[in-house]
Amino acid sequence: MAVPDVDVAALQLFLSEFLSADLRLNRLNGGDESAVFLAETPSQRLVVRVALEAEGYRKDSLVANWLAGTAVPVPAVLRIGAWGGFHVCITEYIDGDTVQSLDAEGLSPVVRSVAETLQDLRRFSPPVPDSAGPLDSEGRCRFRSWPEYLAESTSAARQTRWGDSLNPKAWMLVARLSELAPDRRGLVHGDFGSNNLLTDGKRITGVLDWSEAMIGDPLYDVANQFFWRTWLACMEAQARLFEEDDQFCLSERDMALVHAYQLHIGLRQLLAYQKADDQQMCTWTVGRINQLLSSAS
């Protein structure tokens, strides 16, 4: 979904009606679906996002409420509303740079904090005891278990026109996920890392964008670091920590799950990129999946 083309002057006039007449609005680097702004009044700084749909913002609000008071830093959602055919979300401002923006020197002191944040998230028990899979903004999932979700989503991914470009072994290994994966009911971010993490250079100060949140196995977020390691330096640094640091090293069984989850992540991404008609990323994703299969041979 495209980032909306926002009339900044009109948005500022709309926001000034309930924030402050003395309002400054500056565009920030945004995501794939939202135009993002820093709103500054004499008394506060806020983040304003504008998108074509509100479901992702409502999920942000749900998760922010769940995690309030925990060690996982999530910005509070203050208001979600409609404006000019768009949806506007106002959240508290959290200072920091994205982990993705850091160079090698800047990454070094941060990677342990990223892993610790994942551990903190793993300790949280979401109030969704009887279902799993993708989470909606009401806190519901439509699958009875995490393995059931993995099995059905794999079947959907197989229908992509890119399926024939994949090593046939991919389908065999991912199909086994429904047998291998534990039926855990943790909170999974779904796109953990890179530009969804803010840092002050020492610790993680914010975990952003819960639009892909799921109920399932928290190891799935670890697998995300591994899947994208060849694409982003921050993901490579994070994956290496899980391989080499005694405090965060994974067991042999967990590493086997992480490898299988990477294949599932790849198939999910392939489905999304095909829907967006992003041929370049479809090609890269097919190559990454086949690379994972080759390295495991």
Exposure string for 48-67, b = 16+ CB within 10 A, e = fewer:
bbbbeebebbbbbbbbbebb
Edge-to-edge strands, sheet with 133-134: 133-134, 214-216, 186-188
Structure tokens at 114: 């990223």
Structure tokens that stand for 58 in this block: 């409502």
DSSP 97-123: EEGGG--HHHHTTTHHHHHHHHHHHHH
Task: Give me the helix-helix angle, 219-227 and 252-275, nearest 10°.
Answer: 70
Contact between residue 263 and residue 289 where contact means Cβ atoms under 8 Å apart: yes
Please list the alpha-helical segments (H only) found in the chain.
8-16, 55-67, 104-107, 111-123, 146-157, 169-175, 177-180, 219-227, 233-244, 252-275, 279-296
Catalytic residue numbers, as ranges? 191
What is the residue whose two structure tokens read 């046939």? 168
SS (H, E, C) 167-198: CCHHHHHHHCHHHHCCCCCEEECCCCCHHHEE
